[in-house]
Chain A
């Protein structure tokens, strides 16, 4: 074993020779690199430390790190150091611009999987799908069946909405297999008894060339919700297809959760709202606080980053919509955030709609059913969220 570094010595001499002949003009020219590196690092270092800090990042849709407290114990166990580094990087000067640059660079170099998101064609972003687990699904189905059995006079209906990565699969990046959500959803429906099911997959596929899902967010658009509403209406006996709506474009620069995750802000979505042409009026009640709101549209969210939250201001454990429709039907909706878009169309057909989000709901269900005199129950979930859900079964057991 003779590790004699022949190569490097040769290179070192070559470099020395080069250096000597260039010394005259290189002293000046050679100052460019050190000057540049030093200026760059010092400028950004100084600005990152000195500039005022913000608490929330719109681009990333999260709270930024707080200034860590300097105590002896936090230094000794290393937590101060970790927190200090996180604080420095979170408030780095121009962080948003740097993240966008990184997104562009990664995409240009060919990356199509960024932080749990598929980077599709023509600006489409898709959440990487979750696969359903047989045990978890059986658990949910059992809970739903038990609920239907226990509440015999409530008409139950289950609707699973497919996701963009199944319906608009032509826009997935090349060589990515779309999830077979039709089979997954049908498989789940097969586990349900005494519950009506709605084939939203077929309903949405029929319109798949239309703007059914946001490009930069994992939600469906109000248009997607409308087609789903028509299919659900058929199932629960509502003349859904007779409804006509006024369409309003509420915002045109919506960049959703998927844009935040990838740092890709090259396309923007427009948020459309549907206002039914109906005589029925409504107000939204938050039972926890007693607050009433005359509209389900919270316009202040249009100025913020998460514009999908214009619908109801996001998710609450319990929300009640009281309408002037006098048909005596009262709907209980078990939901995730997809249903928020659906309520725009539902309210003219029910006297009252009670929305329960099981992820935040800790109370007992039976008192709620009795208190509001529920006549119909609708389970509305999107496939990805339902396959990973752990709260619905628990809440139904109450």
Chain B
């Protein structure tokens, strides 16, 4: 039979493991303030995504599609459907204030809901894209919303470049 002290050490190890797992989970959620340039991030995302049949949007479109005020943010890039039956969309924002991410997330979710309402029952492929390939990533001072076949890959590229 082992000595009590050895068991105590093993106990301690196990407990440390549990705490480490929990802390790890915590830290993975922390905000990242990235110094990557907007252009680099945009390129990384665009390369990974498909984004066919989209056109770039201006302040008016940003207001119209998301109800957002462009002056709130440092920089943004909006790509929205050009062929009017498309659903692929991408919004990349560099935030002035990281706490704006909730606002952006709500706007993005509302946009997805509205688009699903429009396409559901009529355009199955677009509906599937919106329901299964929509990603929001908001790790800190950058925000990405993307609806695309390669949305997951684009989000991964986004996280990496930051």
Contacts and interface: CB of A to CB of B under 8 A. Distances in A.
Interface in B110-150: 114, 117-118, 120-125, 127-128, 132
A306 interface: yes
Given A62-B127, A62-B128, A66-B132, A288 B121 contact: no
B61 interface: yes
A62 B126 CA distance: 10
Interface in B73-117: 80-85, 114, 117
Contacts of B2: none
Contacts of B125: 63
Interface stretch (A27-35, A141-149, A313-321): A313-321
B15 interface: no
Contacts of A337: 122
B64 A360 contact: no
A359 interface: yes
Contacts of A309: 122
A56 B84 contact: no
Contacts, number: 46
Interface residues of A, number: 28
A362 B122 contact: no
B13 interface: no
A360 B85 contact: yes
Contacts of A288: 83-84
A65 interface: yes
Contact of A318 (B84, B123, B128): B84
A390 B114 contact: yes
Q: Is the interface of B mostly helix, strand, loop or mixed?
A: helix
Interface residues of B, number: 22
Contacts of A391: 118
Contact of A316 (B61, B84, B120): B84
Given A61-B124, A314-B123, A317-B84, A394 B64 contact: yes
Nearest to B61: A362
Contacts of A362: 61, 80-82, 84
A211 interface: no
Contacts of B61: 362
B156 interface: yes
Q: Is the interface of A mostly helix, strand, loop or mixed?
A: loop
A257 B128 contact: no
Contacts of A359: 118
A63 B85 contact: no
B138 to A, nearest CB: 15
Contacts of B122: 306, 309, 314-315, 337
Contacts of B156: 73
A361 interface: yes
B21 to A, nearest CB: 12
A69 B150 CA distance: 12
Contact of A62 (B85, B117, B124): B124
A360 B127 contact: no
A63 B124 contact: yes
Interface in A349-369: 359-362
**Residue from A62, A74, A260 with most neighbouring chain B CB atoms (10 Å):** A62
B128 A63 contact: yes
B134 to A, nearest CB: 13
A56 B123 contact: no
Interface in A198-251: none
22 contacts: A56-B124, A61-B121, A62-B120, A62-B124, A62-B127, A62-B128, A63-B128, A65-B132, A66-B132, A69-B152, A73-B156, A74-B152, A306-B122, A314-B123, A315-B122, A316-B85, A317-B85, A318-B84, A337-B122, A362-B81, A362-B84, A388-B117
Shortest Cβ-Cβ A-B pairs, 9 listed = A317-B84, A63-B128, A360-B84, A359-B118, A63-B124, A257-B121, A394-B64, A314-B122, A62-B124
Given A56-B124, A62-B120, A317-B85, 17 more contacts: A61-B121, A61-B124, A62-B128, A73-B156, A74-B152, A288-B83, A288-B84, A306-B122, A314-B122, A316-B84, A316-B85, A359-B118, A360-B84, A361-B84, A390-B114, A391-B118, A394-B64
